[in-house]
Structure 1
Amino acid sequence: MYPNVDDGTETPSVQIPYDPKTTLHIHEHLPPEPFTGVYGPSPRAPLDWSRWANLESWQIDRTQFALANPPLETAPPGPLSHTLTITGSKTLRDRGRGGAHVVTCFLDGDTSTEYVAKIYDGADYPLGSRERGCHDCMLLADRDYSIEAWAYRTMQPLIGGTVVPTYHGSWTFACHTGQHDQPQRWVRMVLMELINDECMLDIITRAETDAGKNVDYKQLPSEDFRIRVLQSIIESNLTIWWLGRVTHDDLSPRNIMLKPDGSVVIVDFAQSSIYDFTARHDQHPRMLDPTQLPPSPIEQWWPVPCGFADEDGRWGGWVPQRWCEDKVLAAEWLVETYRDDARFGKPSEWWLNREYHAGDGERVLRLLESLGRRPAGAAGEAKGSVLEQ
């Protein structure tokens, strides 16, 4: 049973029964189509806050709230079912936020194969009020479930088990409430391959000093290896977009599993954009011309790959310091790495001759001219700089 929550925090510490050895009886489930953001309006009825008007979010009984605002219904649960046994937790709580639970598990008593289950229990999502941002925890859980389930369903036939985990379907299970009138409520989840490699964030965190303000580079892998990982991230992210027709939109070390050879598996697609469900569903470049090559990483991530040298420091020193101090070095690496790579197309003439390159200095202009930019003084050139932004 979920107890009443009265701890004075914005994100309640709900007692969730997802501890090791917990058994869940899961049934196959069709997720609702993605909603909010690029997908369009929510199919959920607007929340009636009047029922909770006299309560702060931390005073609301989360079981009662979940029962009053159940997950979206689609088709009835399918005939396929399993007994799932939880073996451990991999949940990372970012700055105290609530959200989905990530647990390891096995199915039907077979301990030889472990999986990862991501559980979207709205009772452990952020809850606010109309005045405090309308954080409807059940809506947030449904949104994450709908987007992530369909992202994996879309990618599975194309790239599942390569740069993203193998997807083993979407599921629902009954959670006991301990209440006589409504003894159970339903919770959604997805099941995926367990990636037994290390999260990039864990490697960075071990090297942090002074409460994360500085990095002990001796605790990080070599610079050559780190650059190889960045290259793998670039190419994996491009593969997800080009072949999987999905953009991740939340690329961060916490969502990257790192293999010993420097290759990566990217996880957590709850913020992703799935072309098949957006207004531009028929505008993906591969659909317009199946014969064309993926775009050049030079054009896609110029001048610093993937914004790895961003100011918020989330990459924790993984990026070579020299790239951060001189972004032209990163641009030179991009050109050297991908200039003659036959897997990708060439930088477009439109991009090479964009006016904002003109203010980036002679080193950059020479790089771009080596790729086909019109020489200085040619028509169409103007001032501006991205390296100074």
Structure 2
Amino acid sequence: MINDMFIFNNIIVVFIIIIISLIFSKLYGDFFNPVSLFMLLWGIIVFNVFTIFEFSFSSFLYFVVAFLSFILPTFILLKKFPDKRIVLLGSTPTQLENIKLILIICIIARFFQIIYDLSVFFELGGDINSIFGDAQSLRFRYLSKESGLFQNIITNFLNYFSELGVILSAIYYKSAKKYMFLIISIILALFHSTLTFSKFAFFLDVIFIVSILTIYTVPKVERKNTKQNNKMLILIGISVILLLNIISNQRGYDMQESRIPGIDSVLIYKVVTYFFGPTLAFLTLLDSNITHSYGIMTFTPFLRKVLEYPSIGTINLGFFDTNVYTLFGSLYIDFGYFGSIFMIFVFSLVLNIIYIKLKSRMNIGLLSIYCILNSALYLSFFDWIGRQTFFWLFPVFVYIIDKLFITKKDKGERRK
């Protein structure tokens, strides 16, 4: 599956996609815009899937139409793109002090979250060896553990404040040019993910941080801060690699075997299957006759008690079994071929509108929605994250905290 020609072809494809993305970056003003990220992510996936595996032409045509559907809002909103940023969130002294105060509270909440994680970890029989060694049985006990109402309230409370802390630490880093809070947030987030056996939680934190660092950067103005930004990105990259190795040990990957010819490393095998497997599952669904569920996959928190959840189940791909089908797959199960294409257009339109508004005037509540939607874009190769209630309620929580404690006292202060 992997040989020199495969690697060479991918290098060429990535180069071409980057050229196309740079063209769109001229329209947006920076490279990390929704269309460039979408093109880079899905261009690589579609190229590899359709050159390695056999699927119908109609399946390939679906992605062509989906690409056009995602790009279309860019040209619809082209005249609304601002020439430069007007306001930087946290640029006033009062606002910056408010952010710092709430940020400290959020970091304290993260400490309490880790204390709770440790109590559960040791309660289930964990020890130091379980953190860095094979902990499969402990992980299964953790995943099957039932919590009472009070515990759920406490864990959700701590989780919401912890995630708000991730956002505020990135904002404070860009506004005050001080990186200590951001480093603390990254380290604590890594520790939390390790104790809860959850790589997804840390990936989400990383996407939140990267989303803010990239949209908060003013081209040709912050060149002197490029080295500092690069150091942060390197730290994040090292943290991701460290977590992947910890997860690899916890799940006993060294005792497993790769099921893909040409890939000997189980860790790389897992990365490949997580990256490409859901797309293969979606294409299998696309070539099958299924009964559509009319919104339950997309709006699960609101419709789970109204509509019946689809019984698609696990799809066997030969080298991998999966029950996730990418963002496209979730939309397709709900709304069918043309309905999912339309929903991709709506998703891109909303993401672009928020992106443009944030470029004109920063707002923490709106920024939290952008982080959620951008996470959905980054993780679109895997699943639709909106199936979890947190992603709908978190922006509401951030909006309330922002209005009550961050921007409320700043109304009379002149914005620069």
TM-score normalised by length of structure 1 = 0.23
More strand by share: 1
More helix by share: 2
Q: Which has the higher contact order (CA 8 A, sep 6+)?
A: 2
* Larger Rg, first or second structure (1 or 2): 1
